[in-house]
């Protein structure tokens, strides 16, 4: 490794990564979770509310491993082999479509669903059953469940870490590689947006996007310890037109080149349109400093 590496706003020199690897090697038998908790305490890495950022630390370690910077212990499969739980969802014909006008559904409820909350399993089931990409790795993802005034679920949105490199986005921001390394943690990625199939209401999707973005900056600050000033979303052009993003004032800034998010050579993926939306008027000043 020739130069420094920056993950989630933390910069590592090559010798620091060597020291971190030695620290990990000295703790044989530790799980990844135990390592992340101990390392977050060692760094005193906390969010704005003083809570230990052990999940962010675990995400950081996993990303360093993905880039070949560290060797981590194998992931543990706790509790032995588990039977895959099948989604228990009411079929569309039984639940009945929701076709009222938007005004009749308001006010909508936007809930940030934590792992221990009872709605989390339902949210995960929705994605597994109805989203073509399924449910992603939950680490670092904010989970939102949106319901109407009667408590009927309408949509699921997830926001997680931004793509490491994306030429259209990087040109739009105008930052350098060093600035991207330093401030990538202030860009959020809308990794999933699922409008549930029974929600058949005009203008609902764009309205829900706007509601979530009003609170995303504050929720991101609590989760990640820094302000999110820009949000991105990748829309597969052969599947979707991106209408709800354009209707809620997102900007289409360019197409991807058919490479994976992790940038693995030789792996081709569908071309996607990149949409971005500013969460702060001074986003370029923040990201390019």
Band of the pLDDT at 50, cuts 50, 70, 90? low
SS (HEC) of the chain = CCCCEEECCEEECHHHHHHHHHHHHCCCCCCHHHHHHHHHHHHCCECCCCCECHHHHHHHHHHHHHCCCCCCCCCCCCCCCCCCCCCCCCCHHHHCCECCCHHHHCCCEEEECCCCCCHHHHHHHHHHHHCCCCCCCCCCCEEEEEECCCCCEEEEEEEEECCCCCHHHHHHHCCCHHHHHHHHHHEEEEEEEEECCCECCCCHHHHHHHHHHHHHHHHHHHHHCCCCCEEEEEEECCCCCCHHHHHCCCEEEEECCCECCCCCCCCECCCEEEEEEECCCCHHHHHCC
Q: Can you give the pLDDT at residue 91?
A: 44
64 and 58 Cβ atoms separated by less than 8 Å: no
Q: Taking the CB of residue 227, how many other CB atoms lie within 10 A of it?
A: 16
Q: Which residue has the tokens 């703790």?
A: 27
Render pLDDT for 246-281 as a digit per residue (tens, 0 to 9).
999 999 999 988 765 444 455 567 899 999 999 999
51 token code pair: 């809570």
Residue spans in the chain of domains classed CATH 3.40.630.30: 93-287
Least trusted range by pLDDT, from 112-116, 235-239, 263-267: 263-267
Label residue 92 by pLDDT band (50, 70, 90). very low
How far, in Å, are 200, 215, 279 from residue 220 at the CA level?
A: 30, 9, 11
On the question of pLDDT at 131 being above 90, the answer is yes
Cα 160 to Cα 233: distance, rounded to the nearest angstrom: 10
Rounded Cα gap, residues 146 and 113, in angstroms: 10
Burial of 240 (0-12, 13-18, 19+ CB in 10 A): middle
Q: What is residue 90's predicted lDDT score, i.e. its pLDDT?
A: 45
Task: Find out if CATH 3.40.50.10540 is the number for domain 93-287.
Answer: no
Q: Is the CB of residue 217 less than 8 Å from the CB of residue 228? A: yes
CA angle 165, 239, 170 (to 5 degrees): 20
| Alpha-carbon gap, residue 86 to 207, rounded angstroms | 31
Tokens 């998010």 found at: 261
Report pLDDT for 87.
Answer: 46
| Range 6-10 average pLDDT | 68
């Amino acid at each position: 490794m020739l130069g420094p590496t920056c993950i989630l706003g933390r910069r590592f020199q090559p010798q620091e990564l060597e020291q971190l690897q030695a620290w990990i090697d000295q703790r044989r038998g530790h799980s990844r979770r135990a390592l992340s908790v101990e390392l977050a305490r060692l760094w005193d890495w906390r969010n704005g509310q003083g809570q230990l950022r052990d999940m962010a630390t675990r995400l950081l370690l996993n990303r360093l491993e993905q880039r070949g910077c560290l060797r981590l212990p194998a992931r543990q499969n706790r509790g032995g082999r588990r039977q895959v739980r099948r989604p228990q969802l009411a079929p569309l014909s039984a639940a009945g479509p929701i076709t009222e006008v938007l005004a009749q559904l308001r006010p909508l409820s936007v809930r940030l669903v934590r792992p221990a909350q009872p709605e989390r399993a339902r949210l995960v089931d929705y994605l597994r059953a109805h989203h073509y990409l399924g449910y992603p790795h939950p680490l670092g993802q904010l989970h939102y469940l949106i319901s109407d005034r009667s408590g009927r679920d309408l949509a699921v949105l997830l926001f997680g870490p931004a793509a490491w490199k994306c030429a259209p986005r990087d040109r739009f921001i105008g930052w350098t590689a060093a600035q991207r390394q330093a401030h990538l943690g202030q860009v959020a990625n809308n990794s999933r947006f699922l409008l549930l199939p029974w929600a058949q209401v005009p203008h609902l999707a764009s309205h829900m996007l706007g509601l979530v973005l009003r609170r995303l900056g504050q929720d991101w600050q609590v989760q990640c310890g820094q302000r999110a000033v820009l949000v991105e979303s990748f829309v597969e052009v052969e599947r979707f037109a991106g209408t709800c993003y354009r209707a809620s004032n997102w900007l289409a800034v360019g197409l991807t080149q058919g490479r994976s998010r992790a940038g693995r050579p030789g792996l081709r993926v569908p071309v996607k349109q990149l949409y971005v939306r500013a969460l702060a008027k001074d986003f370029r000043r923040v990201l390019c400093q």
